[in-house]
Amino acid sequence: MQVLTVLLASAGVCLGLLVAPAEGTDLAQPAAQPAAPRRQKRDWIWNQMHIDEEKNTSLPHYVGKIKSSVNRKNAKYLLRGESAGKVFRVNEDSGDVYAFERLDREKIPEYHLTALVVDKDTNNDLESPSSFTIKVHDVNDNWPVFTHRLFNASVPEMSAVGTSVIRVTAVDADDPTVADHASVMYQILKGEEYFAIDGSGLIFTTTKNLDRETKAKYEIVVEARDAQGLRGDSGTATVLVTLQDINDNFPIFTQTKYTFAVPEDIRVGSSLGSLFVEDPDEPQNRMTKYSIVQGEYRDTFTIETDPNHNEGIIKPMKPLDYEYIQQYIFTIEATDPTINLHHLSSASARKTARVIINVTDVDEPPSFQQPFYHFQLWENQKKPLIGSVRAKDPDAARRSIG
């Protein structure tokens, strides 16, 4: 009768068969020795370890199973790590892992733990500890949030269509590797008649007629949402755009006629009056130049610009004489040689004005007709007539001279 002994090894180890020899077998002859069983390395058997964040079902939440090839009744599973026993626990018999808290991927995207299988009685390791990771799977539970609620920007007035103004940024805390969870879409809710925004958050002009002198500031409200349309109160931001001034306006005379009265003895080069203009551009872009365009007196008067007040200062270039000319009338023009003609707002109808200068008489002393007189006198004459001199009053009144 044959005796069959079966040796079963634990999972992952080959089984060996020992067979007793049959009757009549020559035991002297060595029987063929069976190959020694080969020990195979035991391995940890893993399910995929991940869990959705913010699950609405009741706690605890099943995460997965840890399992070793060790097949002993006295084996038990343990977890080690910072979150072991707090956030995650394991069924020591089955190896099932559960989460005892609702997880937020935006706070902690993954947890690092160590799995152990030990003897229940001795707590000795039956396998080498194995490290593993539980990844928290993203759900689209965050809307884009702008880095600032208020942005300030500026752009030159009259800029070409498509001129960049500012780039705004909104950030979505969801996982960017999950399709459409963290992609941001922008839209202008207010100000879309003047500005537009592209997919990168760049705001640009859509009209070339942004005139600072008409409106200097614009308020834009921008909304950000993700590709699935999730939005919230913090998904909007305000952009304040200030137009930068350029020199695109001619100076305009505040009057069509300027009248001055000036004494005839005014000193050459001194101011006899001021001309005033209005220029809607900012002070740094006001460069008014005054000139005499009609009349015969361009060599008699000059007009200098006061750089501080943009006024025109009229000054005589030669002496005035009431007895010779009592009134000067001429036309003046105000222009700006530095103006940007490409962006000129409009041609001014009041670039010229009339100037009337009335010269007033000043009581001047008489003047001799000759600068020098020479007389000869004979000696020993009684009450001789030496000679005569003549003087006249230069004033128009021709007063008598005594």
Per-residue confidence (pLDDT) for residue 74, from 0 to 100: 86
Beta bridge partners of 16: 7
The whole-number pLDDT of residue 193 equals: 96
What whole-number distance in Å separates Cα of residue 59 and Cα of residue 57? Answer: 7
Give the DSSP per-residue string, 225-267.
Answer: EETT----GGGEEEEEEEEEP-S----EES-SEEEEEEETTPP
CA proximity to 114, closest of 96, 132, 126: 132
Q: What is the pLDDT along the chain (402 residues), one digit of tens a residue?
A: 322 222 222 233 332 322 333 333 343 344 444 444 444 445 566 655 777 777 778 889 888 888 887 777 888 999 999 999 899 999 998 889 999 988 887 788 889 999 999 999 898 998 889 889 988 876 766 678 899 999 999 999 999 999 999 999 988 766 666 655 557 889 999 999 999 999 999 999 999 999 999 999 999 999 988 766 656 656 899 999 999 999 888 899 999 999 999 999 999 999 999 999 999 999 999 999 999 987 778 899 999 999 889 999 999 999 999 989 999 999 999 999 888 777 665 555 568 999 999 999 987 666 666 777 776 777 766 666 666 677 665 655 555 565
Q: How far apart are CA 395 and CA 364, in angstroms?
A: 6
pTM (2 d.p.): 0.60
Specify whether the CB–CB gap between 173 and 121 falls below 8 A: no
In terms of Cα–Cα distance, which of 276, 210, 275 is closest to 241? 210
- Tokens read off for 383: 């009450």
Q: Which of 149, 261, 280 is nearest to 211 (CA)?
A: 280
150: which DSSP letter?
A: E
Tokens of 86: 């707090």
Output the pLDDT for position 8. 26
In this prediction, residue 302 carries a pLDDT of: 95
* pLDDT of 46: 60
Collapsed DSSP state (helix, strand, coil) of residue 125 = strand
**How do strand 352-360 and strand 327-335 relate by DSSP bridges?**
antiparallel
Are 332 and 254 in contact, with CB atoms under 8 Å apart?
A: no
Distance CA 402, CA 396 (A): 17
Distance (Å, whole) CA 282 – CA 216: 12
